[in-house]
Amino acid sequence: MTQTNPPRIAFQGALGAYSHEACMKARPGMVPVPCTTFEGVIRAVKENRADLAMLPVENTTYGRVADIHRLLPESGLHIIGEAFVRVRIALMALPGATLPDIRHVRAHMVLLPQARSFLQQNGITSEAAADSAGAAEELAQSGDRTQGVLASEVAAEIYGLQVLARDIEDLEHNTTRFLLMAPELDGTRRGENMLTTFVFEVRNIPAALYKAMGGFATNGVNMTKLESYMVGGSFTATQFYADIEGHPDDPAVQRALEELNYFTNMLEILGVYPSDPGRAQV
């Protein structure tokens, strides 16, 4: 009997990172492949060390994730799904420690301001770490019961740490959106509510962007995201990243994309995928 290896999914960070949590939610049967950088996640898929990639693109508190919109068009990968993870911050420490024991915590620099009120109320100082889950792994090996880490409860479970406080974030709505990416574009209609993501560069003519967007308005296509970013180190070369509701085969979407194409030098569809049920709750 031939034994096949289970499918693998790559993410940035150590085991127990919020990206790992997104993998567990979206593809619970896949083997997680931790990577140091976003570029490493993409390479893992392109080099066949992973079948899919999970990449964060935006957060309700901090906006878009730096560099992701630049990396996506160059990655050669395509979006096949999305996932939303509510950023729940837990304070964890070595087994046997109590909250009054904790004098200092480490976490990724993005997490620390989100738990500022809790840390101030308990007189706990903080220090930025490269990765919250990685800090949890280091704490598990340290033997220091005065130190804590802010991370997801998944990290506490993986590294055998004790959770001393849950949901300590200042903002209850803090949520990160992730994109599930694969080597091939899947244009099939896999859900009732579909999304289409694409990048484009407008032609150098007056009011090109205004005219390019007009097709979506006149055809009743809802654009849920539009962001610009510079390319090639030039202030004059601007690309746009957009999400719209609908499938390219929908007549209204088809007409809108045809009109957009007329006003662009480049138009590339990055993904066609079902809307995640978590989107309605954000």
- Closest to 59 measured CA to CA, from 111, 10, 20, 11: 111
- Has 178 been annotated as catalytic? yes
Catalytic residue among 176, 196, 197, 264: 176
Catalytic residue among 84, 118, 178, 216: 178
- Has 176 been annotated as catalytic? yes
How crowded is residue 179: how many other Cβ atoms within 10 Å of its Cβ? 24
C-alpha to C-alpha distance for 112 and 129, rounded to whole angstroms: 10
C-alpha to C-alpha distance for 59 and 189, rounded to whole angstroms: 27
Alpha-carbon 148 to chain mean position: 25
The residues assigned a catalytic role are: 176, 178
